[in-house]
Amino acid sequence: MRHKDINRVALIGTGAVGASYAFGMLNAGLAEELVMIDLNKDKAEGDAMDLSHCLPFVSSRTKIWAGDYNDCKDTNLVVITAGAAQKPGETRLDLVSKNCMIFKGIISAIMEAGFDGIFLIATNPVDILTYVTWKFSGLPKERVIGSGTSLDTARFRYLLGDYFNVDARNIHGYIIGEHGDSELPVWSQTTVGTQPIQRVLKKNQQYSMRELDEIFLNTRDAAYHIIKRKGATYYGIGMGLVRLTKAILKNENSIITVSAYLDGQYGENDLYIGVPAVINRGGIREIVELDLNDLETRQFKNSVEILRKSMESIQL
């Protein structure tokens, strides 16, 4: 991977998710340059103009413009949010063939431009499209990352923080597996501060496992609840992508639940799925292997099987 003098990020797809990410990026001041690319060139241009007008209000300067795939050549990070989104009642997996076709074109255009950086994918079904990006690009697996269950983990920590009346940043726990209906909570490794959740339950009669199960269901189904009300979700993932961008560009070695390529970890091979991983300037430094209990192991394997089944329908 070439190290560029200027921190440039390319965003492919300036729809609801892409525009939310771009807005968050300007606020965070993480990149020196942000190039916006979309099939709908007018939308990308309009967004670039509108976002430029934020610059006098923010603390650091980002050069932002509507570009084309040639701009990906000198880019450290390409973030992809392009493609179809779920309609009410659709699952993420229902989008698989449509978005795979779209990705074929996008990835080949980016690679033809001479891109040699890191891919960060958010388009759904994100685990499968991250795998597809890895296959189509030919880049090392560490440099192709999916947003995975980072958003689900954030939702989980937020809801648990609310339940225990503790800052969500002091809730430590992960949602792993498919970013979708078969994801699972790793209750056995969830803590409030350093206190295991089972201990918190034992010491405080007002809390119950039944209510915690409800919190997981609300985490898993959050996208359906939001899409039913306003048609799409975008702020949560927009900020999640900014968080991942920061971990990469600032070489943070942060542990985030991303969609990562399994190469023996968790007893699985040759698929991308949500697991905690250490993220830095090189992409995925390593996958963190959790000691799952029997139930969690079964649920994780079920999620793997569901992704594998859905991948049978795509041509690589």
Q: Which is nearer to ligand NAI, 192 or 259 (CB)?
A: 259
Q: Which is nearer to ligand NAI, 96 or 212 (CB)?
A: 96
Q: What is the largest CA-CA distance in the chain?
A: 61
Q: In what order do the strands lie in the sheet with 8-12?
A: 63-66, 33-37, 8-12, 77-80, 118-121, 144-146, 254-263, 269-280, 283-287
Q: Does 258 show up as a binding residue in the annotation?
A: no
Q: Which is nearer to ligand CC(=O)C(=O)O, 151 or 275 (CB)?
A: 151
Q: Which of 94, 96, 115, 95 is nearest to 106 (CA)?
A: 115
* Sign of the C-alpha dihedral computed for residues 186, 236, 120 and 306 taken in this order: positive
Burial of 269 (0-12, 13-18, 19+ CB in 10 A): exposed
3-state DSSP assignment of residue 272? strand
Least separation in angstroms between residue 151's CB and ligand CC(=O)C(=O)O is 5
Q: Which is nearer to ligand CC(=O)C(=O)O, 113 or 184 (CB)?
A: 184
130 binds ligand NAI (CB under 6 A): no
Distance CA 84, CA 81 (A): 9
Rounded to an integer, what is the distance from CA 53 to the centroid of its chain?
27
Site string for ligand CC(=O)C(=O)O, 172-211 (x = CB under 6 A): ----------------------------------------
Total number of residues binding ligand CC(=O)C(=O)O (CB under 6 A)? 7
Q: Does 28 show up as a binding residue in the annotation?
A: no
DSSP conformation class of 68: -
43 binds ligand NAI (CB under 6 A): yes
Examine the residue annotation and report whether 3 is marked as an active-site residue of this protein.
no
233 binds ligand CC(=O)C(=O)O (CB under 6 A): yes
Show contacts with ligand CC(=O)C(=O)O in window 103-162 (CB under 6 A): 124, 151
How many Å is the Cα radius of gyration of the chain?
Answer: 19
25 binds ligand NAI (CB under 6 A): no
Burial of 288 (0-12, 13-18, 19+ CB in 10 A): middle
**Residue in the block written with tokens 């729809």:** 15
92 binds ligand CC(=O)C(=O)O (CB under 6 A): yes
Q: Which residues bind ligand NAI (CB under 6 A)?
A: 12-18, 38-40, 43, 81-86, 95, 102, 105-106, 122-124, 126, 147, 151, 179, 232-234, 237
> Which residue ranges make up the annotated binding site for substrate?
86, 92, 124-127, 152-155, 233
- Catalytic machinery residues: 179
> Which residue ranges make up the annotated binding site?
13-18, 38, 43, 69, 83-84, 86, 92, 99, 122-127, 147, 152-155, 157, 172, 233
